[in-house]
C-alpha cells in the first residue's frame, strides 16, 4: 500500500501503524517522507525505522526520490537535482528500502508531473539520460533500485521513449516503475488489456515494480481521463497481475490512487485477483528479505 495514513515524517511511524498495514492485508509499504530531507536526515533515524519495520514484518518496498527536475537545461539546477537523488538513494539504503520511485521532473513550475512543451524535447531526454547515469552508481552502492516512473505529460511520455531512455542508461539498478494508468490514452481506455500487454512486451526487461492504479474516461466535452482507486474504472488488473508475476514473483504490486477509507476494498480486490490467478501472496506472518 502507499500513502493514505502513512506519515510524511519517518519518525512518526510506529508499531500501531505497522500492525494496521498487516491487518489490512498488505505485506509492505511505499512511503513519501517529504519532511525528511535526504541531504540532512541522520542515519540513526533511518535505521530506527528499518529496525521497527523489520520487527513488525512490514517490507519497505519503495520510498520517494523527491521528484527532482532531472530534465532541466539549467546545469546548476540539474546538478543539484542529481545530488538530492543520490542522497535519496543512500537514505533509502539506510532504511532498508527495495527501491525509490522518481519521476523525471517537469519544466512546469506548478509541479513535477504537469505538462510543458520543453518536457518533450530531445534536450530534455538527453538531460534525463545524463542525470540517471550519474545516479546509477549511487543506486548500486546503496543496493536500491532507482525506479523511473513515467507519464504522458513528462519526458518519457510513451513506453517507447521510456525504453529508449533506460536502454541508454544501461544499468541493472536503474529500472522502470510501471504505473498501470499513466500511459493509458483515449485510444486504449476501452482496451486496457491490450495496452498493458503492449507495455509489458516492450518494457518487461526494465520493469521491477508496479503501481496498481485505475483509470476511466469522464463524461465531459473536453477529453478527461481520471485516474484513481483500483476497482473504480476500466483497468484490467488480472492482466496487470499476470504480467508482473510473469517477470518475477518477488516484484511488488503497490496499490495507488485510493484513500485510507478505500483500503479494505482494494485489499479485497487484490487478494481475490491473486487467488483467482493462482498467485501466492505473502502471509501476514512471513518476513522474507526483500528481493533485489
Predicted confidence (pLDDT) per residue in 199-242, tens digit: 999 999 999 999 999 999 999 999 999 999 999 999 999 999 99
pLDDT reading at 289 higher than 70: no
User: For the segment 87-117, what is each residue's pLDDT rounded down to a tens digit?
Assistant: 999 999 999 999 999 999 999 999 999 999 9
Confidence band of 282 (pLDDT split at 50, 70, 90) = confident
Three-class HEC string of the chain:
CECCCCCCCHHHCCHHHHHHHHHCCCCEEEECCCCCCCCCCCHHHHHHHHHHHHHHCCEEEEEECCCCCCCCCCHHHHHHHHHHHHHHHHHHHHHCCCEEEECCCCCCCCCCCCCCHHHHCHHHHHHHHHHHHHHHHHHHHHCCEEEECCCCCCCCCCHHHHHHHHHHHCCCCEEEEEECCCCCCCCCCCCHHHHHHHHHHHHCCCEEEEEECEEEECCCCCCCEEEECCCCCCCCHHHHHHHHHHHCCCCCEEECCCCCCCHHHHHHHHHHHHHHHCCCCCCCCCCCCCCC
Tens digit of pLDDT for each residue in 129-175?
A: 999 999 999 999 999 999 999 999 999 999 999 999 999 999 999 99
What is the predicted pLDDT for the residue at 287? Answer: 45
Q: What is the mean pLDDT of the chain?
A: 95
pTM value is: 0.94
Amino acid at each position: 500500500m502507499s500513502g493514505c495514513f502513512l506519515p510524511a515524517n519517518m519518525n512518526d511511524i510506529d508499531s500501531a501503524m505497522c500492525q494496521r498495514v498487516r491487518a489490512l492485508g498488505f505485506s509492505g509499504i511505499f512511503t513519501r517522507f517529504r519532511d525528511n530531507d535526504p541531504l540532512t536526515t541522520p542515519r540513526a533515524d533511518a535505521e530506527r525505522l528499518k529496525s521497527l519495520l523489520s520487527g513488525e514484518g512490514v517490507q519497505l518496498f519503495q520510498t520517494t526520490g523527491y521528484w527532482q527536475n532531472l530534465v532541466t537545461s539549467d546545469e546548476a539546477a540539474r546538478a543539484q537535482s542529481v545530488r538530492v537523488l543520490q542522497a535519496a538513494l543512500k537514505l533509502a539504503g539506510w532504511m532498508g528500502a527495495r527501491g525509490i520511485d522518481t519521476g523525471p521532473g517537469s519544466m512546469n513550475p506548478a509541479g513535477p508531473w504537469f505538462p510543458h512543451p520543453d518536457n518533450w524535447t530531445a534536450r530534455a531526454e538527453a538531460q534525463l539520460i545524463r542525470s540517471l547515469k550519474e545516479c546509477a552508481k549511487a543506486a548500486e552502492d546503496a543496493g536500491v533500485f532507482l525506479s523511473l516512473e513515467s507519464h504522458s505529460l513528462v519526458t518519457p511520455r510513451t513506453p517507447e521513449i521510456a525504453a529508449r531512455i533506460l536502454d541508454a542508461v544501461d544499468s541493472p539498478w536503474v529500472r522502470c516503475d510501471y504505473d498501470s494508468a499513466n500511459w493509458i490514452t483515449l485510444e486504449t481506455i476501452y482496451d486496457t488489456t491490450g495496452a498493458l500487454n503492449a507495455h509489458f512486451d516492450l518494457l518487461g526487461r526494465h520493469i521491477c515494480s508496479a503501481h496498481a492504479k485505475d483509470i476511466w474516461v469522464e463524461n465531459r466535452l473536453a477529453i478527461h481521463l481520471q485516474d484513481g482507486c483500483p476497482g473504480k474504472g476500466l483497468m484490467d488488473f488480472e492482466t496487470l497481475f499476470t504480467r508482473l508475476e510473469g517477470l518475477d514473483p518477488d516484484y511488488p504490486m503497490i496499490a495507488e490512487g485510493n484513500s485510507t477509507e478505500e483500503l479494505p476494498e482494494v485489499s479485497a480486490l487484490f487478494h481475490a485477483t491473486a487467488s483467482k490467478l493462482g498467485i501466492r501472496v505473502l502471509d501476514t506472518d512471513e518476513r522474507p528479505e526483500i528481493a533485489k
